[in-house]
Structure 1
Amino acid sequence: MGVYTFICKSSGGEWNAKQYSGDLEGSAASTFDLQRQLVNVALRSEGSGPVSSSFSYVSPSSAVFQVIIGGGGGGGGFIGGGAAAASATGGAAAAPADAPVEEKKEEKEESDEDMGFSLFD
């Protein structure tokens, strides 16, 4: 499985991307074209396999793009699933049965009368 993280920046109408820890890079006129190009660059470097990607803006002129190639098929997801989710549910199931249960104090919801006006007046 290959994970490729790119730092993307816009300058003068052109988007440029450099790999966070590596030598891969690309540039294009739009973020869509840049993403397609970076997926192809990562595929040439890694080989073949299932591809997932995510593009997240940090600011209007910068973003982070991640390409993941390979990985297991089915189950868990690639982030926050798998063993982490299994250990979280397993830890809850392993809690002793006689442990005291903490009661949460329920907060009273404010009604529209509490605010000094009513929607139906």
Structure 2
Amino acid sequence: MGVFTFVCRSSGGDWNAKQLAGDLESSASSTYELQRKLVNAAVAADSSGGVQSSFSLVTPSSAVFQVIIGGVSGGGGFSGGGVSSAVAGGGGAAAEAPPPEKEEEKEESDDDMGFSLFD
């Protein structure tokens, strides 16, 4: 599993990105084009599995972009705001089932209270 983290900055209308710990970098005229180039560069460096990516603006002119290659397949890589147990446990653990949904509480009517607001 490969994790590629990029720091992205906008300068003069162009976006530039440099890998946090590595030699990959790219530039483009839009964040969308930049993300596509960075994913392609990451896949060229490590093509061991499925690709997940995340782009987060920090300020209007800076962002963090992360590409994860490999790991969990089937679209269940992240759940509940954290890494699933399959990823956290090294891939050997099964993902936990979501907690059961709470039954909706029945609303009490004013007849049940022994008085009515409209009498």
- Report the TM-score, using the length of structure 2 for normalisation: 0.65
| SS of residue paired to 1:55 | strand
Query: 1:49: how far off?
Result: 1.8
Match of 1:80 in 2: 83
| SS of residue paired to 2:83 | coil
Query: 1:81: how far off?
Result: 1.8
Percent identity over the alignment? 67
Equivalent position amino acid for 2:58 in 1: V
Q: Give me the whole-angstrom Cα distance separating, in 1, the residues matched to 2:41 and 2:54.
A: 15
1:2-81 map, 5 Å: 2-74=2-74, 77-78=77-78, 79-81=82-84
Q: Give me the whole-angstrom Cα distance separating, in 2, the residues matched to 1:46 and 1:82.
A: 23
CA RMSD of aligned residues (A): 2.3
Unmatched tracts of structure 2, length 5 or more:
97-119
Q: Give me the whole-angstrom Cα distance separating, in 2, the residues matched to 1:60 and 1:16.
A: 14
Figure out how many residues of one structure are paired with residues of the other and give that number. Answer: 87
Query: 1:13: how far off?
Result: 0.4
Q: Give me the whole-angstrom Cα distance separating, in 2, the residues matched to 1:39 and 1:80.
A: 20
Q: Give me the whole-angstrom Cα distance separating, in 2, the residues matched to 1:49 and 1:80.
A: 17
| SS of residue paired to 1:72 | coil
Query: 1:74: how far off?
Result: 4.3
Q: Give me the whole-angstrom Cα distance separating, in 1, the residues matched to 2:43 and 2:75.
A: 23
* Residues 10-52 of structure 1 deviation map (CA, whole Å, 9 limit, x = unaligned): 0000000000000000000000000000000000000242000
Q: Give me the whole-angstrom Cα distance separating, in 2, the residues matched to 1:52 and 1:20.
A: 17
- Report the TM-score, using the length of structure 1 for normalisation: 0.64
| SS of residue paired to 1:37 | helix
Runs of 4+ in 1 over 3 A off after TM superposition: 83-86
Unmatched tracts of structure 1, length 5 or more:
90-121
